Amino acid sequence: MKTFFTDLLKWFVIINTAIMLVVWISIFRYDTIWVEIIPQIFCASLATSLVTTIVFSINPKKPMGVPVRILLGVGHYIVLCAIIMGLGSLFNWFELSLSGALTVAGSVAAVYFITALISYLLSKNEADEMTNALKNFNED
């Protein structure tokens, strides 16, 4: 249970950072930003972090094949889009229209990409540290 909450916190920080970057970039389309958006972003980050933590905690007995991984990734993306569409509609982030849905899909894709990049860089750094530790251990 402790690792679930640790993973949830990790994904919350990563996803919140990515959402903040996407929001910061999209702010240039508006003249002002409303103060209420900050807790709304935290709410969206928490909801999507929870789903992401659950998806990445799936640990089947047998390794998953590539088609299953692709389906899981697409399903994860669709669920994230549905969450952001629901919250975006509730928070009046966009209008419910085709252009609004396409904006959400693009924004979620951007957050997904940034999150994957941050996660990769953190994992690569951790793997490099473990490799160096193993080299040092073997040298001693």
What is the distance, to the nearest Å, from the Cα of residue 4 to the centroid of all Cα atoms in its chain?
Answer: 16
Report the Cα–Cα distance between both ends of the chain, in Å, rounded: 36
User: What one-character DSSP code corresponds to residue 28?
Assistant: G
Determine how many CB atoms are found less than 10 A away from the CB of residue 55: 15
Q: What is the pLDDT of residues 57-90, one digit of tens each?
A: 887 777 888 898 899 999 999 999 999 999 988 9
pLDDT in tens, 85-113: 999 889 988 888 898 889 889 999 999 99
Per-residue pLDDT band for 32 (boundaries 50, 70, 90) equals low
Of 86, 74, 85, 79, residue with least CA distance to 107: 85
Average predicted confidence (pLDDT) for the chain: 88
Q: Model-level pTM greater than 0.85? A: no
Q: What is the pLDDT of residue 127?
A: 82
Reduce the DSSP state of residue 57 to 3 states and report it. Answer: coil
For residue 78, which amino acid is it? I
- Predicted pLDDT at 140: 66
What is the domain partition of the chain in residue ranges? Answer: 2-139
The percent of residues in the chain predicted with pLDDT above 90, rounded, is 47
Other C-beta atoms within 10 Å of 81: how many? 19
Give the residue among 111, 122, 94, 100 at the shortest CA–CA distance from 25.
Answer: 111
31 pLDDT band, cuts 50/70/90, is low
